[in-house]
Each structure stands twice: as structure tokens, then as C-alpha cells.
Amino acid sequence: MSASREFVEATAKFPPSNPFALVKNGQQNPLHITLQNGPEDITLVSASASFHDPEKHWKLIRNTSDHKFSTPVLGNSNLTFPYSFYSEFKPRDVGLTVFVDLLDASKQPFRVIAFNSTVSVVEPPSSFFDPSLLFLYIILVGFAAFIGNWIYKTFVAPIRGKKSSGSAGTGKKAKVVPAAAGKSYPESVKPYEEEWIPAGHLNLKKRNTGNKLSAVSSGDEGFTSGGAGTSGGESKSGKSKGGKAKAGKGKRA
């Protein structure tokens, strides 16, 4: 065993954007690992992590995938490299252990622990533009449109069709055809009924008819009087003819 192993240290920290060391489900969680080397050269082989149950004496839950590096580290130097792990647990507190696998100067493997503590697993904040949520929105909108179209065609459209046909039938006006004098209405045409006409219109019609009849009667009387005058003229002419006849008789005598 090389003495250089005693001087090698590794520490892992969450980035400043995650000050509370929260492990978010469904995504990669980054870490920054700093390796402090001793006097001899070593080789960084890989880094890995594992989850444990803190309530059951740090029982192993599962291991994460390891990252391969194979990077040489010179003696008395430091090396900082990134590492990330994936989490898929129910929100709770779990134990997290991060390992760094190395090779010493004699090419013998050894391992140092960079992180060994309890972390909180949480669900990531949902975003409106999350692809999975957008797909769910599209499905819900399509389903709602299908239901709305079915309701319209089943219940609304038949009712509107009945209303439009009924209004079209009532909108037609019946033609009133007055009957000719001395002629009856044909069977295809029915006379209008006065009971549907307002009383004011009927009274106005009767007054207009009465005025016309009185005017016609007055004209007939005037014409008769004029005729009498004509008769008088005829009598005057008769008288003049009689006078002329008498004058003729006197001359003859």
C-alpha cells in the first residue's frame, strides 16, 4: 500500500444554485468534486454514488451510474471536476454517498469518499411549457372539443332546426283577395275575417264608405234639379213658339 493514499482527499458540493442540497426527481443533479492530491502522482478513474436509507442503518437502496475519467493527477495538485446523478424517489430524506475511484503510483486501485450525508428528495417545479404537460393539454383540449361537438349535434342542432322552420312558417303573410261583386270566393282562396281586424280600422272604413255614399247622393240631387231647369227651358221655348203662332193668326185675320 502506497503512502500517497493517506494524503488524498476528495470533497463534493452542490452548486451555489442549490444551497439547500435538494435532490430533484426526474432530472440530473450536478455536483462539483474537488480532489486534493498528495506528493505522488495518481490517476482519477471514475466517480459514482449510492442512495441509502437513513432510518435503517444506512441500508443500500440503489447505486447510480458511474462516470469514467481516466485522468492523471500530478502530485501536490488539486483537481475539480463535475459529476451528476439521476434521482427517481418519492419525496423524502435519503442518504447519499459519493465515491471517487483512483489508482496510486503503483497502479493499485483505492477509493475515497467525497460526500456522505442525508439529502432531501423533492419534485421539480412544474412549468407550463413542459413537453409532457403540453401533450396532456393537447389531449384534454381535443377531448373537450369532441364532447362539445357531440353535445351540439345531439341536443342543440335539432332544437335550432325546429325553431328556424317554425319561424319561417309564421313569417309568411296570407294574401287577402276581395271577392268580386256577385261572385263567391273560390275554394282555394278564403276571405279575410273581420274579427281579426282592429275595431278602429273597421270604424274608419265604415266612415269612409258613408262619406262616399252621401257624396254620391248629393250629386244625384243636383243633377235632378238641373234637369228641372232644363224642363223649364223647354216650357219657355214652348211659350215662345205659342206666341209666335198666335201672332201669325192675328196677321191672317
**pLDDT value of residue 5:** 83
Q: How many domains, in total, are found in the chain?
A: 1
- Residue of higher predicted confidence among 173 and 250: 173
Read off the CATH number of the domain in which 22 is found: 2.60.40.10
Distance separating alpha carbons of residues 185 and 175, to the nearest angstrom: 13
Q: Is residue 35 part of a domain?
A: yes
Q: Is residue 45 part of a domain?
A: yes
Secondary structure (3-state) at 38: coil
**pLDDT value of residue 137:** 78
Q: Is residue 134 part of a domain?
A: no
Distance separating alpha carbons of residues 118 and 22, to the nearest angstrom: 10
Read off the pLDDT band of 118 (50, 70, 90).
very high
| C-alpha cell recorded at residue 153 | 349535434
- Residue of higher predicted confidence among 193 and 224: 193
Q: Is residue 210 part of a domain?
A: no
For the cut 80, the answer to whether the pLDDT of residue 142 exceeds it is: yes
For the cut 90, the answer to whether the pLDDT of residue 64 exceeds it is: yes
Domain span including residue 90: 3-122
- Residue of higher predicted confidence among 169 and 41: 41
Distance separating alpha carbons of residues 116 and 192, to the nearest angstrom: 104
Read off the pLDDT band of 133 (50, 70, 90).
low
**pLDDT value of residue 123:** 92
Mean pLDDT, range 112-127, rounded to an integer: 90
**pLDDT value of residue 112:** 97
For the cut 70, the answer to whether the pLDDT of residue 52 exceeds it is: yes
Q: Is residue 75 part of a domain?
A: yes
- Percent of the chain surpassing pLDDT 90: 46
| C-alpha cell recorded at residue 150 | 357531440
For the cut 70, the answer to whether the pLDDT of residue 229 exceeds it is: no
Q: Is residue 87 part of a domain?
A: yes
Mean pLDDT, range 18-30, rounded to an integer: 93
Read off the pLDDT band of 136 (50, 70, 90).
confident
**pLDDT value of residue 251:** 43
Q: Distance between alpha carbon 90 and the CA centroid of its chain, in Å?
A: 37
- Residue of higher predicted confidence among 93 and 245: 93
pTM equals 0.51
Spell 99-133 as b/e; 16+ CB within 10 A means b.
Answer: bbbbbbbeeeebebebbeeebebeeeeeeeeeeee
Which of 58-72, 149-163, 178-192 is modeled with the greatest confidence? 58-72
Q: Is residue 101 part of a domain?
A: yes
**pLDDT value of residue 68:** 96
Q: Is residue 95 part of a domain?
A: yes
The whole-chain average pLDDT of the chain stands at: 77
